[in-house]
Structure 1
Amino acid sequence: MPRLVQISDCHLCADPEARGRRGVPLRQLEAVVAAVNHERSDLVLVTGDISNDDSAASYALARRTLDTLDAPWEWLPGNHDVLAPMAETRPLNDELTLGQWRLLLLDTHLPGQPHGELDAAALQALDRRLVAERSRPVLIAMHHPPLLVGSAWLDAIGLRRREAFWQTLAPHSHVQAILCGHIHQAFVGRHALEEGEVMVYGCPSTIDPFLPGSEHFAVDPIARPGYRVIDLEEEGLTTRVERVDISI
């Protein structure tokens, strides 16, 4: 049974001692990586917002830290990321295999914009990829959540053209679930399709947790950074969120 671990929203700067709202992002990422190394994962996926300052040095810092993982790792871009220095630091893949599962990595970021989008060409490409292989279950990973999460300010900067995305998925019952970042919180949602439903899972960030259900931006004063564990089984998946104690 393959095990995937999701890390998200590291927000590193070129300066390794730069501080965030509740600590030093690099130290927080290091603590999360150390905890993930106890999970015996087959793959670690970082779902965007690697950098907070657009610098090549921040990506180099992220790679050095993530290279201490005991499992292979991949990343995809978020709204804070810049593709050129990110891809130069480590190539971006768009599809992976874990056991019998296909993992499709989508790029939802729009340069200079906090919200995300998959345009018509991207959705057509996704449809072709799903049509090409129907015999294996699919897990999709993306930065922006494809549904409302119940926080007004986050919902305003989520994925645009959501209905077009779900219409693309409608004929593809082999899509089992979607992993997203961006929201800095553990989240579970679902979207009903004609032939069942697709689960949507959000992930805690490695830095400041966002307060669920807030109308305006707010950091959760209680929640700790964390990660999500996904076990890919023959009949579906099971998942849990783990939190990490970090001295701030």
Structure 2
Amino acid sequence: MGSRVIQLTDIHLVPRQQRVSKVLDTYTLFEQAIEKIADDLPRLGQVDAIVVTGDVSDHGDEESYRDFHAIISRLNLPYVVIPGNHDKREAMVSAIDGLSVCGETGELNSVYPLSAFDIIALDTVIPGSGAGALSDNTLAFLESALATDLEKPALITMHHPPFDSGIQFMDNIGLKGRDDMARILAQSPREKRVICGHLHNSIVCNIGNATVLSAPGVASSFLTDYRDDAPVGFTQDPGGYMVHDWSHGFRSTYVSLSRHGGLFAF
């Protein structure tokens, strides 16, 4: 029996009437994304959950998290939320049901079992920083989670990518601890896929015997620009979401959030 999840990332929600960087109406953009996904669902088959890989809010305010819950609930699907560098853990826990801190560190690490695979959610947030880190606590959590049910595949979810993207201004706020993560992944015999956000761009890499990929953002897009002096900023190009499923192996599919112009027969 297979399982299937939708991945959303980098929503950067602000309350209605506000704008991110005086440009992005992320409230309306998120509503439009959910409407597009609702239209897509009949074509996707059974979806077990939505995984949101961070930067749910732009400022980390409780109002944005309450708006997030109200809007995403229109899909009538369970959802898993991982914090990003724009998020604030305390506000997330207060406003979103089902979130709880892991131990004394306050990190939001958790495991969500589906029939075909486990979702292992990792918190990479450094409070007050755009960069991320896999703390000793989070690395121990990952190692322990992977050590259970070795026959079951694992979808490992996080915000910061455990690889260099080539986009300099994003790599400057990258992830610490990724070598330790690669070692843990390499030592585990489980089938694994790692998914992340942060880059507002879709990139596929390998780490520690696992495929890892970043998903496009909902709020905006970042250019693929490998120059050392690449300009810092975003575009309003249409973003997208990912569909990850398992049936004799992981499969990950990009779906655009732009509306298509119609279907034409061959």
Find the aligned partners of 2:89 and 2:196 in 1 and give their Cα distance: 18
The CA deviation at 1:243 is 1.3
The CA deviation at 1:111 is 0.5
Q: Any residues of structure 2 matched to 1:1-248 within 5 Å, and which?
A: 1-13=2-14, 15-20=15-20, 23-37=24-38, 38-39=40-41, 40=45, 41-90=47-96, 91-92=98-99, 94-191=110-207, 193=208, 197-214=209-226, 215-220=230-235, 223-233=237-247, 235-245=248-258
Structure number with the bigger relative contact order (C-alpha 8 A, sep ≥ 6) is: 1
The CA deviation at 1:7 is 0.5
The amino acid that maps onto 2:123 is D
The amino acid that maps onto 1:245 is S
Find the aligned partners of 2:212 and 2:235 in 1 and give their Cα distance: 21
The TM-score with structure 2 as length reference comes to 0.84
The CA deviation at 1:175 is 4.1
Find the aligned partners of 1:137 and 1:213 in 2 and give their Cα distance: 34
Q: Runs of 5+ in structure 2 lacking a partner?
A: 101-109, 260-266
Find the aligned partners of 2:251 and 2:137 in 1 and give their Cα distance: 32
SS for the counterpart of 1:6 is strand
Distance 1:125 1:23, change over 3 A: closer
Distance 1:212 1:173, change over 3 A: farther
1:152, 1:216 within 8 Å by CA — same for their partners in 2? no
2:20, 2:58 within 8 Å by CA — same for their partners in 1? no
1:117, 1:159 within 8 Å by CA — same for their partners in 2? yes
SS for the counterpart of 1:67 is helix
Find the aligned partners of 1:185 and 1:158 in 2 and give their Cα distance: 14
Taking only the aligned residue pairs, the percentage that are identical comes to 27
The TM-score with structure 1 as length reference comes to 0.90
The one-character-per-residue Cα deviations of 1:9-34 (angstroms, maximum 9, x if unpaired) are 11112x31212355410111111112
1:3, 1:230 within 8 Å by CA — same for their partners in 2? yes
The amino acid that maps onto 1:217 is V
Q: Runs of 5+ in structure 1 lacking a partner?
A: none
Find the aligned partners of 2:76 and 2:215 in 1 and give their Cα distance: 20
Higher strand share: 1
The amino acid that maps onto 1:152 is Q
The CA deviation at 1:64 is 0.7
Once superposed, what is the RMSD of the aligned Cα atoms? 1.7
Find the aligned partners of 1:43 and 1:132 in 2 and give their Cα distance: 22
The CA deviation at 1:137 is 0.8
SS for the counterpart of 1:170 is helix
SS for the counterpart of 1:190 is strand
Find the aligned partners of 1:17 and 1:185 in 2 and give their Cα distance: 26
Match of 2:104 in 1: none
1:76, 1:92 within 8 Å by CA — same for their partners in 2? no
